[in-house]
Amino acid sequence: MKRKGIIIVVSGFSGAGKGTIMKALTAKYDDYALSISATTRDPRPGEENGREYFFVSNEEFEKLIKENGLIEHAGYVNHYYGTPRKFVEDKLSQGIDVILEIEIQGALQIKEQYQDAVLLFVMPPSAAELRNRLKGRGTETDEVIAQRLQRARDEAVGIENYDYIVINDNLDRAVEQVHEIIQSAHMAPSRNQEFINTIRNELNEL
């Protein structure tokens, strides 16, 4: 029986460690395709166009929206971010799980369109540790860090919309938990209806 691909949405405060977890998860397991978003923010040192993001202008981003090329998009601290449609639809139709690392407004747009999406929220072990990680990453100015922490306060209100929280204290454990959550989701009866029906029919024919 062919497995159907699941959309997994991973959100969490900036600096909680989503990117780090996704990198480790996809290095360890071949099962997952990571969607690459489009964004209007500038690349950080070490980021490459087409690897972490597709870095586009405001005009290009607005064109993508108009052409229905994004399955969701949102504004985040002065910039646009969005998920290209084609990659996600292609992977799902091939039975491959797709992970979207996106913020909360986008997550809710996905949940509306794909009711069986699994929504994960990555949490830091404490707020002080979140600030330490943001500062330690060294990629944003103090002003932008303050804006991202304010955004974290706003996003914290919406955590109950998610199916699971993952606390990123020990990185290896967080990676395993994400993997286990996704693998468990595949075992839900609703995702195995065809198999259940086959066994029912076989039982009737015994």
Choose the contact partner of 76 out of ligand ADP, ligand 5GP, none; CB within 5 to 8 A by kind: ligand 5GP
- Residue whose CB is less far from ligand ADP, 5 or 17: 17
Contacted by 17, from ligand ADP, ligand 5GP, none: CB < 5 to 8 Å by type: ligand ADP
Question: Which tokens in the block code for residue 10?
Answer: 């991973």
Give dist(CA 154, CA 42) in Å, integer: 24
Positions 3 through 22 that interact with ligand ADP (CB under 6 A): 12, 14-20
155 binds, among ligand 5GP, ligand ADP, none (CB under 5 to 8 A by kind): none
Site string for ligand ADP, 165-204 (x = CB under 6 A): ---x--x---------------------------------
170/184 with CB nearer ligand ADP: 170
Q: Which is nearer to ligand ADP, 85 or 151 (CB)?
A: 151
147 binds ligand ADP (CB under 6 A): no
- Tokens representing 125? 């072990």
Q: Of the two residues 35 and 168, which places its CB atom closer to ligand ADP in the complex?
A: 168
Tokens 């990123």 belong to which residue? Answer: 168
Would you count residue 106 as binding ligand ADP (CB under 6 A)? no
Q: Per CB under 6 A, which of residues 121..140 are in contact with ligand ADP?
A: 133, 136-137
Q: In angstroms, rounded to a whole number, what is the distance separating the alpha carbons of residues 171 and 101?
A: 17
Give the binding site for ligand ADP (CB under 6 A): 12, 14-20, 133, 136-137, 168, 171
